[in-house]
């Protein structure tokens, strides 16, 4: 798949394959609350600008999230994503059970509030996530 870089920084990378209708993003290190919100907003902008329908978000290296980013993600981030053409979002979660549960609780809250208008599934590795996206 011919991915091109949409955005890159010291902590986050977004690549797009327009022909394959696929976006992949990856957190490159543990981030601050502001970096997480900034990067997540870049993800929204990429989906909005490219109209891509499938995305894989690799958060394997994310650590603990504080209440501010968790609240923002549950209340606003997933609603922003729902305003794009996104149909399927595959999330690759950290190995830590604590961090994994924290991220799962965010999506559960967003879904309970009706903020997600796309399919979301969590995975432990990229290959498994990609298979689901392409199915």
Q: Report pLDDT digits (tens) over 112-130.
A: 888 889 999 999 999 999 9
Q: Report pLDDT digits (tens) over 61-98.
A: 987 788 898 899 988 999 999 999 999 999 999 888 87
Is the model's pLDDT at 99 over the cut of 80?
Answer: no
Question: Greater confidence, 123 or 103?
Answer: 123
**pLDDT on residue 80:** 96
**pLDDT on residue 1:** 59
- Is residue 15 within 8 Å of 23, Cβ to Cβ? yes
Sheet holding 4-8, edge to edge: 4-8, 12-17, 22-27, 54-58, 88-92, 119-123
**pLDDT on residue 56:** 97
Q: Judging by DSSP bridges, how do beta strands 22-27 and 12-17 pair with one another?
A: antiparallel
Weakest-pLDDT range from 38-42, 101-105, 110-114: 101-105
Whether this model's pTM surpasses 0.85: yes
What are the structural domains of the chain?
Answer: 4-134 (3.30.750.24)
Q: Report pLDDT digits (tens) over 3-39.
A: 999 999 999 999 999 999 999 999 999 999 999 999 9
């Amino acid at each position: 798949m011919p991915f091109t870089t949409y955005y890159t920084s010291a902590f986050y990378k977004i690549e797009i394959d327009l022909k394959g209708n696929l976006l992949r993003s990856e957190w490159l290190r543990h981030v601050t609350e502001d970096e997480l919100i900034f990067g997540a907003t870049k993800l929204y902008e990429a989906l909005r600008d490219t109209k891509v329908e499938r995305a894989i978000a690799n958060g394997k290296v994310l650590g603990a999230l504080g209440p501010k980013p968790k609240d923002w993600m549950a209340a606003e981030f997933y609603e922003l994503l729902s305003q794009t053409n996104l149909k399927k979002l595959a999330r690759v979660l950290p190995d830590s059970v604590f961090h994994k549960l924290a991220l799962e609780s965010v999506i559960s809250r967003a879904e309970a509030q009706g903020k997600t208008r796309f399919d979301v599934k969590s995975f432990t590795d990229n290959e498994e996530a990609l298979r689901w996206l392409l199915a």
